[in-house]
Amino acid sequence: MEESSLPKAPRSDVARCVDTTPTTTPTPTNHTAPILRDHPTTPESDTPYLTETKIFIDEDEAMNTILLVYGTTEGHTATVADRMAEVLRAENHDVTMKSLAQEDVDAISDYDAVVIASSIHAGQPHATVKAFVQTHRDALNGRPTAYVQVSLSTADPRPEKQAEAQAYADQFLQEMKWTPTHIALFGGALPFTRYGFFKRRLMRALAKKPFGITDTARDYDFTDWDQVKQFAGSFAADVKTAHAPGLSLRDRSLRDR
Ligand SMILES: Cc1cc2nc3c(=O)[nH]c(=O)nc-3n(C[C@H](O)[C@H](O)[C@H](O)COP(=O)(O)O)c2cc1C
């Protein structure tokens, strides 16, 4: 579905994204970083000293491999994944995108980073996403990862619905024992023209109060596409930094202070 062809929801603040990285977004190409040098002392003291060191990352060499997998029921999360892939590729990353319902993923060890996107139906992420996270949990926890949740609750302005969307994500991640470095909650869509009779009636009843929707002859798109692009851009930059040559984890934590 091309979102530009769809009528927009009456609200604009329909998506939230959360970067769980406890730092500010780094500049991707030129980092000024305080590095704890190997020299153990300065002439004046016996303690290690900090000095400013510039680290240049060559854009051509900064390409990383990113696996982007998704679970979708009506196709909207596939569009979100597509849009994220465009941004990641524009940032010079090598992106492999797979629908988990259609393609198998044997191992993720070849990838520098992984993005997992899922829609919510009946309060749950897609079954294929659950199975994927369960299978690859240990490898996921050892690299930069993003969890992208697409739901109607995030598009709903009522505080209890916002809390509900957050609870879906919290509960899922806790259950899976997966701690992504990045999390985004985006509003989803109501593609009435794709629904069968019963689903259309059900979704119309659910959407009437929060969104004032009565016309089911058209589709509605509640995703804030600027936020999707922004989130993908931020993840792209952080993956480059995480895999920058010569930056150890210790260097990074020092730089981020
Ligand atoms: C049958 C059905 C059940 C849904 N259940 C929920 C739900 O429990 N919570 C929620 O926030 N959104 C719910 N949604 C909204 C979807 O998350 C939203 O339509 C999303 O865009 C679907 O993405 P997909 O096309 O990638 O599956 C439901 C939608 C349908 C059709």
Q: How confident is the model at residue 243 (pLDDT cuts 50, 70, 90)?
A: confident
What one-letter code names the amino acid at 64? N
Q: What average pLDDT score do residues 109-128 get? A: 97
- Residue 81 Cβ contacting ligand 1 at under 6 Å: no
With b meaning 16 or more CB within 10 Å and e meaning fewer, what string describes 207-220? beebbebeebeebb
Which residue has the least CA distance to atom 30 on ligand 1? Answer: 121
Query: What residues does each domain of the chain span?
Result: 3-28+65-255
- Residue 150 Cβ contacting ligand 1 at under 6 Å: yes
Q: Is 212 left (phi over 0), alpha (psi -120 to 50) or beta?
A: left
**In the chain, how many H helices and how many E strands?**
6, 11
Which residue has the least CA distance to atom 22 on ligand 1? Answer: 119
3-state secondary structure of 49: coil
Q: What average pLDDT score do residues 126-134 get? A: 98
**Is the pLDDT assigned to residue 17 strictly greater than 90?**
no
Q: What average pLDDT score do residues 68-96 get? A: 98
Confirm if 113 and 123 have CB atoms less than 8 A apart. Answer: no
Q: For residue 161, give the ligand 1 atom closest to its CA.
A: 11
- Residue 99 Cβ contacting ligand 1 at under 6 Å: no
Mutate to test the pocket of ligand 1, among 6, 100, 121 (most ligand atoms within 8 A of CB): 121
Q: Report the separation in Å between the CA atom of 10 and the middle of ligand 1, taken as the mean of its atom positions.
A: 19
Expressed in angstroms, the distance from the first to the final Cα of the chain is: 43
**Is the pLDDT assigned to residue 216 strictly greater than 80?**
yes
According to the model, what pLDDT value does residue 43 have?
41
Euclidean distance between CA atoms 152 and 163, whole angstroms: 12
- Residue 122 Cβ contacting ligand 1 at under 6 Å: yes
Specify the higher pLDDT residue, 112 or 3.
112
Q: What is the pTM of this model?
A: 0.78
Angle among Cα 244, 247, 253 to the nearest 5 degrees reads 115
Q: What average pLDDT score do residues 114-141 get? A: 98
| Neighbouring C-beta atoms of residue 14, cutoff 10 Å | 22
CATH architecture under which domain 3-28+65-255 falls: 3-Layer(aba) Sandwich (3.40)
Euclidean distance between CA atoms 57 and 40, whole angstroms: 27
